[in-house]
């Protein structure tokens, strides 16, 4: 998860109220919807091209293929990559067959309308290679697809040199050039995105980010917290998360900073995208989220504590102590953050690896603070 500096990222929701773990759409379900949409588009195209013998045959074959892939995704555990590659190959087979039909079966420029309708789908298939296979594995299929289309055009020019001045040839050549530009730009965008992600995660040369954890620093977090509070103070939760020092840690002096960075990565990969993580320094992180009530907020932090403990580093199970404060209308934004830090300090005085619901009460009444006992760590 990359730090999101917008002031409106947190949203209250009855669906994920009290939760803290990120939710993602199942990839098989996503591909079922995608293939279902392609199947619907293929059937509509078949109705439109009822008088075209080539389209009737090709689109029928495509509809059968898409239907088979949809059934495989729904009723079997066929690997998702196999389904995706099969769909890509089927799509390119249709495009190349249609290109050959326009070049060799139709006279003159009669196939120009069909070719113009084909152009957007060629760009979609080129882009889909990178979406599905990644930059490295898609290179072979991209080269094979564009090379096959170029070979068809070259064969046409060799057999019919006069076709070099036709609109069909010019359009197909423009499609090939545009595809090459698209591939170059797409790969450049992917490389730039990876560099941006690396800088954001590592905090390298990025203003407002902590250099060790890659999280927003205290100043940035306070500014965003104030904006969120002004926008809607209801159901706002601030948790201060302190990384505990393990008793049997290695003698290496760099272990504790590495442990803090490790815990930050676990937190970034766990919390929801709409929640806000920040770094307060000295191995303490802050989490800003929304929850329906204080009990739900405490339970969410307890689940987060157990998740961190289940991700070891160098054979050491890290633990965190969390002080959590629920907005009750009596504290402003920065007071909520200070109350969370005070609650964390109070929890650490009583031990580690626990969650304390604040705000704590100073003096003799401090003993009345509600403290959760440590739970057994997952195996």
CB 123 within 8 Å of CB 117: no
DSSP string computed for 31-83: HHHHHHHHHHHHHHHHHHTTT-HHHHHHHHHHHHHHHHHHHHHHHS---HHHH
The angle, 0 to 180 degrees and rounded to 10, between the axes of the packed helices 112-159 and 167-202 is: 110
| pLDDT value of residue 339 | 92
| pLDDT value of residue 365 | 39
Q: What pTM did the predictor assign? A: 0.56
Per-residue DSSP letter, 331: S
In sequence order, the β-bridge partners of residue 271 are 21
- Gap between the Cα atoms of 233 and 10, Å rounded: 11
CB 276 within 8 Å of CB 287: yes
The angle, 0 to 180 degrees and rounded to 10, between the axes of the packed helices 53-75 and 80-104 is: 180
- Gap between the Cα atoms of 332 and 227, Å rounded: 11
Residue numbers in the chain where pLDDT is lower than 70: 1-26, 135, 194-208, 211, 247-252, 361-379
| pLDDT value of residue 249 | 55
CA atoms within 13 A on the CB side of 14: 0
284-290 and 370-371 beta bridge pairing: unpaired
276-281 and 370-371 beta bridge pairing: unpaired
| pLDDT value of residue 3 | 45
| pLDDT value of residue 93 | 92
DSSP string computed for 228-244: HHHH--TTEEEEEEEEP
Please report, for residues 20, 222, 236, 331, the alpha-carbon distance to residue 226 in angstroms, rounded to integers and kept in the order given: 21, 6, 11, 12
């Amino acid at each position: 998860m990359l730090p999101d500096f917008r002031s409106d990222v947190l949203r209250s929701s009855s669906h994920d109220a009290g939760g803290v773990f990120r939710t993602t759409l199942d990839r098989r379900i996503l591909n079922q919807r995608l293939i279902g949409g392609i199947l619907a588009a293929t059937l509509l195209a078949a109705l439109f091209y009822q008088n075209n013998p080539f389209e009737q045959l090709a689109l029928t074959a495509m509809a059968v293929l898409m239907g088979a892939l949809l059934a495989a995704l729904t009723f079997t555990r066929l690997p998702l990559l196999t389904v995706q590659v099969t769909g890509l190959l089927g799509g390119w087979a249709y495009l190349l067959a249609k290109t050959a039909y326009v070049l060799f079966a139709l006279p003159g420029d009669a196939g120009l309308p069909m070719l113009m309708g084909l152009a957007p789908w060629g760009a979609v298939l080129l882009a889909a290679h990178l979406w599905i296979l990644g930059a490295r594995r898609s290179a072979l299929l991209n080269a094979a697809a564009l090379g096959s289309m170029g070979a068809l055009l070259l064969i046409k020019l060799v057999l019919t040199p006069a076709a070099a001045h036709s609109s069909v040839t010019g359009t197909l050549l423009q499609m090939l050039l545009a595809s090459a530009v698209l591939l170059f730009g797409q790969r450049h965008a992917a490389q730039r995105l990876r560099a941006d992600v690396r800088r954001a995660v590592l905090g390298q040369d990025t203003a407002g980010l902590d250099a060790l954890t890659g999280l927003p620093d205290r100043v940035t977090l306070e500014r965003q917290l104030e904006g969120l509070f002004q926008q809607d103070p209801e159901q706002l939760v601030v948790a201060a998360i302190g990384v505990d020092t393990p008793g049997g840690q290695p003698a290496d002096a760099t272990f504790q900073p590495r442990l803090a960075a490790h815990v930050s990565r676990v937190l970034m990969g766990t919390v929801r995208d709409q929640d806000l993580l920040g770094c307060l320094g000295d191995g303490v992180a802050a989490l800003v989220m929304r929850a329906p009530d204080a009990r739900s907020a405490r339970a969410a932090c307890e689940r987060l504590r157990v998740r961190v403990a289940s991700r070891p580093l160098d054979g050491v199970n890290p633990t965190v102590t969390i002080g959590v404060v629920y907005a009750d209308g009596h504290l402003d934004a920065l007071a909520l953050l200070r109350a969370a830090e005070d609650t964390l300090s109070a929890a650490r005085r009583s031990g580690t690896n626990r969650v304390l619901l604040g705000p704590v009460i100073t003096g003799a009444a401090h003993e009345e603070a509600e403290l959760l006992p440590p739970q057994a760590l997952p195996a």
